[in-house]
Amino acid sequence: MRFKLLIISPPEESPEEVAVLIRLFEAGLALFHLRKPAWHEARVEEYLQAIPAVFHPRMVLHSHYALARRYALHGLHLPAWARASWQPSARQPGQTLSTSCHTLQEVQQHRHGYDYVLLSPIFDSISKAGYSSAFDLGLLREELQNLQYRQQYTPQVLALGGITADTIATTRDLGFAGAAVLGAVWQAPDPVAAFRAIKSEIS
């Protein structure tokens, strides 16, 4: 199974973000999660319109799900708070559905119906000050390997939190099916170079 690598947008507006994102797609980014919790639908749509349509199938929305249908996006992501009010009709055939979890017990409870889940924080967060790792990595490796999430379980479990070029190999060795990156890319002086460095560690 190929190790999945995705990038999540910074939650706030970031200078030159759209231009950088286009360069990331051109550099081989396969999947991008657009998470702007404070943005209204029109602002999210403006963002999508600024991205060439050829890249829309690589994008996942964390809100305003009707836009995923309108722009033929890759999929939808449900934050934990949105699971209770989720309407399956918002999802188009062929679109992925993912969610966020913070314990393996939560993964087991909510795993049905999702293509993949983001489990966090695996390492100390780069983008959130004071958001420290919540897992014993030895126990986590054992749980992931015993349950065979990576190869046999639905959904795939992806690591989030503190994912960098220095931790990505450990993430794969723990048994995760992939990883989501935020701070290591967007807070880097050159986000594209940071992405390439992470990608090269799993190539």
| pLDDT, tens digit only, all 203 positions of the chain | 689 999 999 999 888 999 999 999 999 999 999 999 999 999 999 999 999 999 999 999 999 999 999 999 999 999 988 898 888 778 889 999 999 999 988 988 887 889 999 999 999 887 776 677 889 999 999 888 776 544 455 678 999 999 999 999 999 999 899 999 999 999 999 999 999 999 999 97
What is the total residue count of the chain? 203
pLDDT digits (tens, 9 = 90+) for 11-33: 998 889 999 999 999 999 999 99
What 8-state DSSP symbol labels residue 57? G
Q: What are phi and psi for residue 58, nearest 5 degrees? A: -105, 10
Give the residue extent of every domain in the chain: 4-202
In CATH, the number for domain 4-202 is 3.20.20.70
Q: At a CB cut-off of 8 Å and minimum separation 6, what does 35 contact?
A: 8, 9, 11, 62, 63, 77
pTM for this predicted structure: 0.93
DSSP 171-189: HHHHT-SEEEESHHHHTSS
